[in-house]
Structure formats: structure tokens, C-alpha cells
Amino acid sequence: MQQQRVFSESYRLEQCFNPMTRRIGQAAAKWQELEKDPRWRDDPTAFPLSVADMDFWIAPTIRDGLIEQAQSGIYGYHRQRESYTQAVTGWMKRRHDFAVDPEWLVRVPGVVYSLYPVIEALTDPGDGVIIQTPVYQPFRTAIQRTGRTVVENPLQASDGHYTINFADLEQKAADPRCKLLIFCSPHNPVGRVWHEAELRELARICIRHDLMVLSDEIHHDLVYAPNRHHVLLRACPELAERAIIATSPGKTFNLAGLGIANLIIVDALLRRRVEQAIQRSGAGGSSTVAALACEIAYTSADEWYDALIHRLTANRQQLGNALERLAAPVRCLLPEGSYLAWLDFSGWPLTEAERQNKLKKEAGLFMSPGSWFGDHGRPFERLNFALPEAALTAALQRLAALASAIG
């Protein structure tokens, strides 16, 4: 599709990552808590560090395409075009060396939405669904809302480095009441990018104990060298009959508000079960605008994406350098993947409530509280560093001042 360069003069690639665009008054979920505090609402340097979207402008090619679509003046029903599936499969091959048959794709309104029909398709009420805590809260919520049982396989932490407790996973998987593992790869919030050996051991356990797997790989494009993301089904093709991969351009290209994701389901019978559950939900697919954005992102935004990784890499390093200098220490192994850092505040002599109050009220630091990811996360805060360099610098200066007052 030939895109009009409507922003060719005023909206260039190099301008996407620096503007201090504050989304005040736009009903942005990430900004609503900060907006309630007059001190920080009116501070031009204060940006929230919580919800996992980015305060960067989207790729010019995507924005131009969406404007062109909006100017058409007609917004009728949408069907999936062949160019859409070619875009998704092309990205997976080009960026992840994973060959995806177009028939394997099931388009859905989002990864979180997909949790519900997948759980309902692969389990029965009361069945156990395993999650690896601390982990993204909507996993737990979806399990509970569908009447299934949350079974925790807590990650093991050693000096801030997290690994899978395979002995505990095998024990939980051996329970015939456990039918499904919701796997997070890369992991949110701890930032692990799993090694092939870890994935193969996970596959061994799932096959041995007849455990199905939903692998949420929404952060799979956001990985820092020398780490490399391994698509579960590429690393472990033996899981083809029991694994579903969930991907989306939402995190990579800052399109989360449009609502679009793709499930990769190799096995035809498994795919049909999930499609039937989606049909029963009365939802599915995506809007015309979301599908167009996804297609452009995967075909015409590589240059922006490469610039994004460069910007995030610099922000990640800036964060690491700042944490090393804090008077009251905050421990963090910088994430191997995602733009989310898992900060350990256990060295601060404060309860979680006291810490949250000081961070927000005194320093204007609106992060995601660790308890949102499970009880194991209470000493932690999740910090989103996908924001302009000047905003990150200001936030880290306020954190340093607060740490000096405490230390």
C-alpha cells in the first residue's frame, strides 16, 4: 500500500523519541493517576512510569496510513486481507526466523482478551492453570473470572536474577487437575528472556504431563543484545499440538490502544477449539484501523523500530547508571527484554504503603506497585522507561533526591 507522506516535513523519524508530549486530559490510562495530583500534573517534566505503553510518537508510516484511512470517510466492516497475513508472517520470519503458515493465524482484539477463550477452550471449570509469579496480573484475573484455579509456580530469584523452578513446575504439572500453563516470554515484570535450554526443559515437562501452553510473547521484539528471543514453537516444535503463541504489534509499535493481536496455532484441531471459543464470546477479529496499523507496522516501520531499540537501550543504560549511585540502594538487574524494570526496594525501611506514598507524593514517581504482580512482588516497583530522555532524566533525579533523604 502506497502511503502518503502527509507529515514528511513536520514529523520525521528523529523527532519521534524526544518530544515531551504529556497526555494530560486525553483519558490515557497511564496518566490518570498523575493527573489527580496538581503538583505533578502541572510539572512539565513529570511523566508516569507505570502502564506498559510508550510515551513516544508512533512510526511516521503508521501515522500517515491511519490519517489516510480516516480521510476516506467510510468506516464499514472489515475482512482480513491477504496482505495482512503476509505482513505478520513476514515479520515473524524476518525478525524471529520463524516460518508461520498463514493458516495458523487467528486474529483477536488483544492478548489479554485471548486469555479468556483460550482458558475456556482448553480447561474446564475448577481445573488448575499454572502461572509463574510474580507475573502480569491479568493472567490471574482471567483464571479467576473463568472459574478456574490459580496454581502458582513461583520463579526463583538469586541476586535479582530469576529462573524457573522446574522441580516445582514438574510437581504442579503432575497434578491431573492442572491443564494449562500461561507462560510469559519475555517475562513481565522480571524482564527475563528465556534461553533455549530453559524452553526445552519446559517443553519436556508439558509433554510428559499433558499440559497445554499459552505463551504470551507480546514483548518478543523488545530484547537487548546479546540476548535473543526464542519463539517457543520454533525452539520446541514438539509442542505443536499443545502450544499457542500470542503476539501483537501493540507493545513494539505503541499501538496497544487500537486493540489487535495474533494467535499462532499450528495444530488444526487445537486452532478450531480456540476459534469456537472465540465465536462463543461474541467477539474476535479487530477494527479496520487496527488491522491497517498492524500491516503497516510489520511492513513499513523497520527503520522506526530499529531507532526505538537504540533509544530504549540508551534509556536502559541511563537507568542502570542512576540506580548504582543512589544513597538508599535500589537493586535491579536490568531487563533482558521489555522496557520494564523490576526495582527491589527491600533495602528501604518503609512499608509498601509508605514507599508508594513517598514515591508518588514527594517524588512524582508513579510506578506499578509490585503487589499487583502477586504477593512475591511486594518489595518491588515496576518502572516503565519508555519515555523521552529528558523525562527519564528528571524522574531519576527526583528518585536520587528521595533516596538521599531516606538514606
**For the chain, what are the domain ranges?**
18-55+302-406, 77-299
- Determine the average pLDDT of the residues in 250-268: 97
| Euclidean distance between CA atoms 380 and 370, whole angstroms | 5
pLDDT tens-digit profile of 345-386? 999 999 999 999 999 999 999 999 999 999 989 999 999 999
Residue 346, C-alpha cell as written in the block = 527491600
| Euclidean distance between CA atoms 190 and 343, whole angstroms | 9
Q: Which amino acid is at 220?
A: H
The predicted structure's pLDDT at residue 374: 94
Residue 281, C-alpha cell as written in the block = 464470546
Q: Please report, for the chain, how many H helices and E strands are present, in that order.
A: 14, 12
Neighbours of 145 (CB within 10 A): 12
Q: What angle in degrees, to the nearest 10, is found between the helix axes of 166-173 and 196-208? A: 20
Cα within 13 Å of Cα(69), Cβ side: 19
**Domain 18-55+302-406, CATH:** 3.90.1150.10
Q: Is the confidence at residue 6, as pLDDT, over 70?
A: no
Neighbours of 334 (CB within 10 A): 15
Q: 214 with 261: CB under 8 angstroms?
A: no
Residue 373, C-alpha cell as written in the block = 504482580
Q: Is the confidence at residue 318, as pLDDT, over 90?
A: yes
Percent of the chain beyond pLDDT 70? 97
The predicted structure's pLDDT at residue 182: 98
Residue 63, C-alpha cell as written in the block = 501515522
Going by DSSP bridges, is the β-strand pair 212-216/178-184 parallel, antiparallel, or unpaired? parallel
| Euclidean distance between CA atoms 104 and 273, whole angstroms | 13
The predicted structure's pLDDT at residue 310: 96
Residue 326, C-alpha cell as written in the block = 543512589
| Euclidean distance between CA atoms 168 and 153, whole angstroms | 6
Tell the burial category of 314 from Cβ atoms under 10 Å away from its Cβ (0-12, 13-18, 19+): middle
The predicted structure's pLDDT at residue 207: 98
| Euclidean distance between CA atoms 304 and 27, whole angstroms | 26
Q: Is the confidence at residue 2, as pLDDT, over 70?
A: no
Instruction: Give all strands (DSSP E) within 109-177, no chain letters.
Output: 128-131, 149-152, 156-158, 161-163
Share the mean pLDDT of the chain: 95
pLDDT tens-digit profile of 201-246? 999 999 999 999 999 999 999 999 999 999 999 999 999 999 999 9
pLDDT tens-digit profile of 44-63? 999 999 999 999 999 999 99
pLDDT tens-digit profile of 69-108? 999 988 888 788 899 999 999 999 999 999 999 999 999 9
CA 39 to chain CA mean position, Å: 30
Neighbours of 36 (CB within 10 A): 11
| Euclidean distance between CA atoms 157 and 163, whole angstroms | 7
- With a CB cutoff of 8 Å and minimum separation 6, the contacts of 249 are 255, 260, 293, 294, 297, 298
Residue 93, C-alpha cell as written in the block = 520470519
Q: 144 with 297: CB under 8 angstroms?
A: no
The cell 472459574 sits on which residue? 147
Q: Can you name the residues that pair with 337 across neighbouring β-strands?
A: 223
Encode 99-166 in three state secondary structure: CCCHHHEEEECCHHHHHHHHHHHHCCCCCEEEECCCCCHHHHHHHHHCCCEEEECCCEEECCEEECCH
Neighbours of 272 (CB within 10 A): 12
The predicted structure's pLDDT at residue 290: 95
Neighbours of 68 (CB within 10 A): 15
| Euclidean distance between CA atoms 66 and 366, whole angstroms | 31
Q: Does domain 77-299 have CATH number 3.40.640.10?
A: yes
Q: Is the confidence at residue 14, as pLDDT, over 80?
A: no
